[in-house]
Structure 1
Amino acid sequence: MQQEFLLSADYIFNGTELLADHCLTVNENGTILKLEPLTAAHKDIRFYNGIITPGFVNAHCHIELSHMQHTVSKLTGMVGFVKQVMMSKGKNFDNKETLIEMAVTRMYNNGINAVGDICNTTDALSAKLQHPKMYFQNYIECIGLNPERANGSFEYGKTIASEYGKYFAPKQVNLVPHAPYTVSPQLATYLNTTQPNSSTIHNEESLAEMDFIESKSGEIIELYQFLNAPLDFFAPFHTTPLQHNLQTLLPPSGKVLLVHNCHFNESDVAFLEKYRSLQDIYFCVCPNANLYIGNPLPDIHLLLETGKPVCIGTDGLSSNDELDILSEIKVLAAAYPAITTVEWLTMATSNGAAAIDMEDKVGYFTENTQPGVLLLENITEQSFAENTSCRRLF
């Protein structure tokens, strides 16, 4: 018979609210058995000062770029960043597999139990299979702005998806577009024939992206010149990337995760208000990556104004010093002090779980699940602090 543990703390966060005077029963494998009010009948309780919470969900990551940590300069802007990543991809990293596996281990040690991971290759597949206590939504990302190459890009994505499909359930392998400045409507049409139950796209991450989609101007043109790729076939869409993404590139149904949102604006709010019947939309923010590249932080209040759920990601180690959701929250909490601890924890757990279509596994203390059990210390009901820390209990 497995050993059971009774845990309590100043508060237990259940995925949506802080509960005082409650007790969490968990077995030695980390399976949640019960969450209930604390009574005198409960004995041998392990009590902690702080907040007990489900494991974090990293809703957006590029695990396969983990070997690029410290190889990409900071504050280069979006185009400079993409150039460096592309040049680094051509280098030979003898220890790539080891560095990728180490990054996944660090994520788990930092309290992350589920990841929405962008996959352009199978480089991270082995590392994921070595971490059975973690859950992965594998977004097989396809790239190709030239409509003549749409079919080739789609077929390549299918080969990557096929490899992942050998080890993951169908709902955990979805073909998705990269960004509005790298995906043609023709390629998106191919992707949407696969009927992904969960899709994602990089959205309004930089001014360069905004300029290119709205008026075919700005630094993205410089990027395509760097790639010696012609753009004579491309015509601007005279709209914001968000509106182009939702109307043209993303599937008409299923969950849609819009990532970064650094330049989400009032016209986008009005658009979402007018088209309420659009996809099941989630916003993901990756603040440390934005600051690393030189983009602004997203306007969290404006995102919340839409009524759409907001979740949190780390991006990859090519654009971040660590894969740590707590670090992301601290940056956001300092910039937006009016947002409460409950709101941040909801973004980091249940919202992220729903966004990557894994709310049946993580994000909540649901009986007979293994979402992870974390303890946050040096934290209050109202705010995170610089010295707030996280440790894994299960």
Structure 2
Amino acid sequence: MGFLQFSGQDLFDGKQFLGPGQVLITNETGRVEAILPRSEAGEDIQEVPGVLSPGFVNAHCHLELSHMKGRIPEHTGLPEFILKIVSDRHHPEEEILAAIASAEAHMIEQGIVAVGDISNNYLTAAQKAMRNLAYYTFVEISGWKPEIAEPRFSNAQKVMEQFRGITTAASIKSPQISTNPLQTSYSPHAPYSVSKELWEMMMPHFEGNTVTIHNQETPAENELFLKGSGDFVQMYQAMNIDQAHFTPTGKNSLPSYFPQLQKAKNVLLVHNTTTTETDMDFAAASAAAHEQSLYYALCVNANLYIENALPPVELLRSKNANIVLGTDSLSSNHQLSILSEMQTIAKHFPMIPLEEILQWATSNGASALQMDAQFGSFAPGKKPGVIAIENMGGDKSIGKASVRRLI
């Protein structure tokens, strides 16, 4: 088997820039062999007009909603957005499957190699079975009324069977199988959509897994738990959902629900738009006490699309949070591109070094999804994908950058 050698304007190995004089060596399947100085690499070096990087990890996506691109106006606010998702997500299966395939192809084109994907149904299973990308499928469960907890969990179990079926399928024929794993776990949708009864059914299944939850995406979420009032109460009324069972905790949502995640190996909090320092301190102490790894997913383009707001990125950085990047869905984003997420972050937070943002997009995301044995860095033996970030400014500005997949 032959070897491939790449050299770019710089080389990011998943943690840091190594400089322009380094050569990445892989075999033909993309397995990393070494990184060597140009003087030791020999001939046949492919010169790349850009920065070399491991493939991107999209830590939060809803592939099953790809058919809803452009169907919901921007800046509706989250409760209204949820109402529109619930009322308009049912379309012909053929249309949904075609949109899923198209969205996956776009992610591949955009240099994404692994995805943390939310699934409420089995419609993405056939596409995932092709193993074009690595997926961590979060079978999402919601149900605010206690009386529907049992049927909702039963339905989630049936969905999980579909995904575990493709994960353990005996027909392993492609060499990509080992490269693109399919992992699964149950995950609660959000604090405002899971009853105590449903939590209790889920919790035994968290152990050893990454568990994700939509966290503090809007001020209304904290208001619900603090006072039992606000836009979510109006949303329940519009959906004819009785909330008599719910008693406000008098605390923000995060400290109200976080103890129920203590069996998880990794906790992945998504959005975090209204998360406070006190909330973060609570989560960090709880995670440390239960030997968990805690990650915060930023989906900045979706936050701007739905709420026209941004998460407290500087607060997260000041607390040394493990930050990862996601795209959310095409119902709340114009594209599924991690580079686009990076560009939005760089635009609004220009003081953050590109090296740090690239860590969020690669090694941090791989660790959050328990895929770091294979993805996220150019360590020898891994097959992380090789991409080139091109058309960058002289100071590594990425406002007009593009991405090209090399392997």
Do Structure 1 and Structure 2 share a fold, with TM-score over 0.5?
yes
Aligned to 1:62: 62
TM-score by length of 1: 0.94
Q: Secondary structure at the match of 2:166?
A: coil
Q: Which amino acid aligns with 1:164?
A: F
Q: Select the residue among 219, 222, 240 that pairs with 2:231.
A: 219
Does 2:338 match 1:325? Answer: yes
Does 2:275 match 1:264? Answer: yes
Does 2:296 match 1:283? Answer: yes
Alignment of 1:148-187 (within 5 A): 148-168=147-167, 172-187=183-198
Aligned to 2:213: 201
After superposition, what is the alpha-carbon deviation per residue over 1:15-44, rounded to whole angstroms, capped at 9, x for unaligned? 101112211112332222222333245212
Structure 2: tracts of 5 or more residues without a match = 169-180
Aligned to 1:71: 71
My pick for the range that moved more, 202-211 or 21-30, is 21-30
CA shift, 1:310, in A, is 0.1
Alignment of 1:1-394 (within 5 A): 2-20=1-19, 21-92=21-92, 94-130=94-130, 132-168=131-167, 172-196=183-207, 197-248=209-260, 250-272=261-283, 274-275=285-286, 276-278=288-290, 279-379=292-392, 383-394=396-407
After superposition, what is the alpha-carbon deviation per residue over 1:315-346, rounded to whole angstroms, capped at 9, x for unaligned? 01111110000001100111111110110000
CA shift, 1:295, in A, is 4.1
Structure 1: tracts of 5 or more residues without a match = none
Aligned to 2:177: none
Alpha-carbon separation, structure 2, partners of 1:331 and 1:353: 21
Q: Which amino acid aligns with 1:102?
A: S
Q: 1:25 to 1:293 in 2, by over 3 A?
A: same
Alpha-carbon separation, structure 2, partners of 1:383 and 1:217: 46
Q: Which amino acid aligns with 2:335?
A: E
Q: 1:121 to 1:37 in 2, by over 3 A?
A: same
Q: Which amino acid aligns with 2:254?
A: L
Q: Is the Cα contact below 8 Å between 1:340 and 1:383 reproduced in 2? A: no
Alpha-carbon separation, structure 2, partners of 1:50 and 1:321: 25
Alpha-carbon separation, structure 2, partners of 1:387 and 1:70: 24
Alpha-carbon separation, structure 2, partners of 1:314 and 1:83: 20
Q: Is the Cα contact below 8 Å between 1:283 and 1:309 reproduced in 2? A: yes
Q: Is the Cα contact below 8 Å between 1:341 and 1:382 reproduced in 2? A: no
Q: Which amino acid aligns with 1:22?
A: Q
Q: Which amino acid aligns with 1:198?
A: T
RMSD value, Cα = 1.8
Q: Secondary structure at the match of 1:141?
A: strand
CA shift, 1:144, in A, is 1.1
Q: Is the Cα contact below 8 Å between 1:106 and 1:323 reproduced in 2? A: yes
Q: Secondary structure at the match of 1:166?
A: helix
After superposition, what is the alpha-carbon deviation per residue over 1:45-73, rounded to whole angstroms, capped at 9, x for unaligned? 11223210000000000000001111111
Q: Which amino acid aligns with 1:177?
A: P
Aligned to 2:171: none
Give the percent of matched residue pairs that are identical in Structure 1 and Structure 2: 34
CA shift, 1:368, in A, is 2.9
Alpha-carbon separation, structure 2, partners of 1:113 and 1:253: 24
